[in-house]
Amino acid sequence: MNKNKLAFNTFLFASPFTDASLPLLAKMREFGANGVEFALENKGDLDYAKTLAALKENNLECSSICGAFGPGRDLRGTPEEQKGSALYIKDCIDAAVALGAGVVVGPFYSRVGRAGAEKKEDKAAQWKLVTGHLRELCKYAADKGVYLGVEPLNRFETDFINTTADAVRLCHDVGHEHLMVHMDVFHANIEERNLPLAVVEAGKLLLHIHAADNYRGAPGTGSLDWLGLRDALRFIGYERYVVLETFTPDVEIIAKAAAIWRDFEESNMILAQKGMRFLKTIFA
């Protein structure tokens, strides 16, 4: 029976997550994590040597790097936004190499919050633009032994990639083995007709999982079908990380686009404890 390692996304604890935040790794380990997914908001936020030492000290590993696609990072935007996003994705790949992770995830294709009706011809042109950029970025990632996981977002956060099927089609059109699918079950719970079936349809392309409940709070406190998700992951032989990812209103780069207007628990530490405790009973 396949089991999964568990990690926290650092957005739950601090934004930006910097060298000054590294003492928080001890809490993550105390709460039961095996790894840490660093949300890299900007190059230079972390000293990688210090971060590696802190991970080792707390018996943790870097599970992955999570991209933060705010203003100025849009592979289908203006030429300046395209350039800025491509350079930033390379920074994330470099961070993954430096921290010993082989995975970078996120909605690489667009800035978060860009959502509106697009003409079919405009959408087709944007699709061609994004696939071209991703082919080049996959070459860069492959040279460094890193895989990219493209993340569908719900319809309120993007109009470009909403479903697992969209992400699978993007992977096929890019045509590079280092581009795979990253499923965030909060988004999938909104957009997929059947969450476990979406996992099965992703199959071996599924690279990474983000976990939050249906209202984006701690896993196990809402109505998401966790047992169905677990069984689907076991069916396809998924043995990679499951990462607890949610936010607080203090995470300004994400909070507005993701409509995080309230705290889901009395504190982020309570949310972290509750969520990780539940994930361990299901997946570990």
22: nearest Cα among 54, 49, 57, 44: 54
pLDDT at 236: 97
Greatest Cα pair distance, the chain, in angstroms, is 53
- Has 245 been annotated as catalytic? yes
Give the angle 65-106-188 at the CA atoms, nearest 5°.
125
Q: For the chain, which residues make up each domain, given as ranges?
A: 6-283
pLDDT at 251: 72
Q: What are phi and psi of 127, to 5 degrees?
A: -60, -45
pLDDT at 281: 97
The Cα 143–Cα 192 span in angstroms is: 34
- Has 201 been annotated as catalytic? no
The Cα 190–Cα 223 span in angstroms is: 12
Instruction: For 6-283, give the CATH class.
Output: alpha beta
Cis peptide before 16 (omega within 30 of 0): yes
In this structure, are residues 64 and 7 in contact, taking their beta carbons and an 8 Å threshold?
Answer: yes
Per-residue pLDDT in tens (0 to 9) along the chain, 284 residues = 568 999 999 999 999 999 999 999 999 999 999 999 999 999 999 999 999 999 999 999 999 999 999 999 999 999 999 999 999 999 999 999 999 999 999 999 999 999 999 999 999 999 999 999 999 999 999 999 999 999 999 999 999 999 999 999 999 999 999 999 999 999 999 999 999 999 999 999 999 999 999 999 999 999 999 999 999 999 999 999 999 999 878 777 677 777 888 888 889 999 999 999 999 999 98
Question: Catalytic residue among 151, 157, 191, 201, which?
Answer: 151
pLDDT at 255: 73
